[in-house]
């Protein structure tokens, strides 16, 4: 019985620590557009909430969440969406054609590569896909890792 209680306390402490680690303010970053041009905080479009999603083209959870984002795109039109991946450029169009056709060509969607591996140490995700919705003042509103993030973000994005 003591072991179960100790394990539960440990589990709660770890869970709390992971949630507490998420940056409350948008971290500084430099990613790259698919044409190779640098994209940083100064390039963010102003006046809208910013949704950052770290995804991997081979991740089943990412594939489902992108499909969900595409299906519910109408609810995300008032936000800037930044889709960040560590994947090589050649695989990215195939990913969108298969799982979220046309999403990557929407006016408010920017696909970025994390060539310098900055996302993970700056944003501290715990698993793929990782979603971060920031206010117009760059304050974290929603964080989600794994499945269910699109539904979670939809509850907050247009408030």
Tell me whether the omega of the peptide bond preceding residue 3 falls within 30 degrees of 0, making it cis: no
pLDDT for residue 9 is more than 80: no
State how far the Cα of 139 lies from the Cα of 124, in Å rounded to an integer. 15
What's the mean pLDDT in 61-79?
97
Q: What average pLDDT score do residues 68-72 get? A: 98
Please say if the pLDDT value at position 6 is more than 50: no
Residues 135 and 130: their CA atoms lie apart, in Å, by 17
pLDDT top residue among 38 and 13: 38
Is residue 42 within 8 A of residue 77, CB to CB? The reply is no
Structure tokens at 129: 């896909």
Per-residue model confidence (pLDDT) at position 27: 97
Q: Give the pLDDT confidence score for residue 132 in this predicted structure.
A: 98
* Domains contained in the chain, CATH given: 2-154 (3.40.30.10)
Stretch 3-21: mean pLDDT, rounded?
Answer: 42
**Sequence-ordered list of residues with C-beta below 8 angstroms from that of 16, at least 6 positions apart, any chain:** none
How far apart are alpha carbons 89 and 74 in whole angstroms? 27
pLDDT level of residue 8 (50, 70, 90 thresholds): very low
Model confidence pLDDT, tens digit, residues 22-46: 889 999 999 999 999 999 999 999 9
**E strand spans, 41-125:** 49-55, 79-85, 109-113
pLDDT, one tens digit per residue, over 102-123 is: 999 999 999 999 999 999 999 9
Q: Which ranges constitute the DSSP H helices of 26-105?
A: 60-71, 92-99
Burial of 149 (0-12, 13-18, 19+ CB in 10 A): buried
């Amino acid at each position: 019985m003591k072991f179960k209680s100790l394990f539960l306390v440990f589990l709660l402490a770890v869970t709390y620590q992971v949630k507490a680690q998420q940056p409350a303010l948008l971290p500084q970053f430099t990613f790259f557009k698919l044409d190779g041009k640098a994209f940083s905080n100064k390039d963010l479009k102003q006046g809208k909430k910013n949704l950052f999603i770290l995804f991997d083209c081979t991740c089943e959870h990412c594939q489902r969440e992108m499909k969900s984002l595409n299906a519910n795109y109408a609810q995300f039109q008032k936000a800037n969406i930044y889709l960040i991946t560590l994947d090589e450029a050649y695989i990215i169009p195939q990913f969108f054609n298969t799982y979220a056709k046309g999403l990557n060509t929407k006016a408010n969607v920017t696909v970025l590569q994390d060539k310098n591996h900055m996302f993970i140490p700056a944003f501290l995700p715990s698993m793929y896909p990782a979603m971060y919705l920031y206010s117009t003042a760059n304050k974290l509103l929603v964080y989600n890792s794994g499945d269910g993030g699109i539904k979670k973000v939809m509850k907050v994005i247009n408030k």
